[in-house]
Amino acid sequence: MAAPIDRSTRRLIAAFRYAFRGIGHLVHTQRNFQIHLLIGAIAVSLGVVLRIDRWEWLVLTLTIGLVLAAEGFNTAVEAVVDLVTREHHPLARIAKDVAAGTVLLCAITAVVVGVLLFGPRLWKLLTLLMT
């Protein structure tokens, strides 16, 4: 018979279950998260095809994670604000706008990273195909 699982281990397992449930919610209900996930998958595929090096993988992975995490926080902020009030309130608007703006900043950063990582390689490939 297996040893019983102690309380702290049960709490840890529950915490992971809640976290995966949250990720599942993002994947299944949040269109913008789905779009960012698709773009991230395309970027990873491009990284494989273009054979980016270890440091570039690090930058790409962190950038994709940053955008997805920002989208998750944005969704959480929107849910909490909607829970507190459905009325138009200046503070509710600020909270939602700042959260959305943060996602936009992360997405713009991701585009810049993508151009810096993939631009020279794609340009080189394009010039080879044109000659």
- Residues catalogued as catalytic: 71
119 vs 17: CA distance, rounded Å = 39
Cα–Cα distance, 45 to 38 (Å, whole number): 11
**DSSP-assigned states of every residue in 50-112:** HT--HHHHHHHHHHHHHHHHHHHHHHHHHHHHHHH-SS--HHHHHHHHHHHHHHHHHHHHHHH
How far is Cα 65 from Cα 24, in angstroms, rounded to an integer? 16
